[in-house]
Amino acid sequence: MHANSFVRELIAKLNRSRFADTVTVMPGCGVSEENLSALLADTGCREFHTSAKSVVESPMRFRNERSCMGAAAVSKDYSLVVSDVERVRKMAQIFKDHMN
């Protein structure tokens, strides 16, 4: 069964249950601006979870390329994973457009 079909089925079952007003199915894991519109249309969900992450360069000033701080590759020692405000804005707009 396709993941969106499974989520749609869960939401439909929940909406028919006595928990419809208290429990929400919130899809997540891999939700992005590229697939959000289809997720909303395919599942009928009204909420979703996303990290909206992007990798940015660390502002760390001192860098010792001979010493690894635990990342598999030294280059990963000098980058950060952050929630990207622009990605969040894009997904918020997709959500608003879908709900109207």
Q: Are 22 and 42 contacting, i.e. CB atoms less than 8 angstroms apart? A: no
Query: For the chain, what is the mean pLDDT?
Result: 86
**What pTM was estimated for this model as a whole?**
0.75
Residues 6+ apart with CB under 8 A from 9: 1
Residue 43's nearest CA partner among 1, 73, 8 is: 8
Spatial separation of the C-alpha atoms in residues 39 and 63, rounded to whole Å: 42
Spatial separation of the C-alpha atoms in residues 21 and 15, rounded to whole Å: 8
pLDDT(88) > 70: yes
What are the structural domains, with CATH classification, of the chain?
Answer: 3-99 (3.20.20.380)
Average pLDDT over residues 35-60: 90
Spatial separation of the C-alpha atoms in residues 81 and 58, rounded to whole Å: 9
Amino acid 2: pLDDT: 66
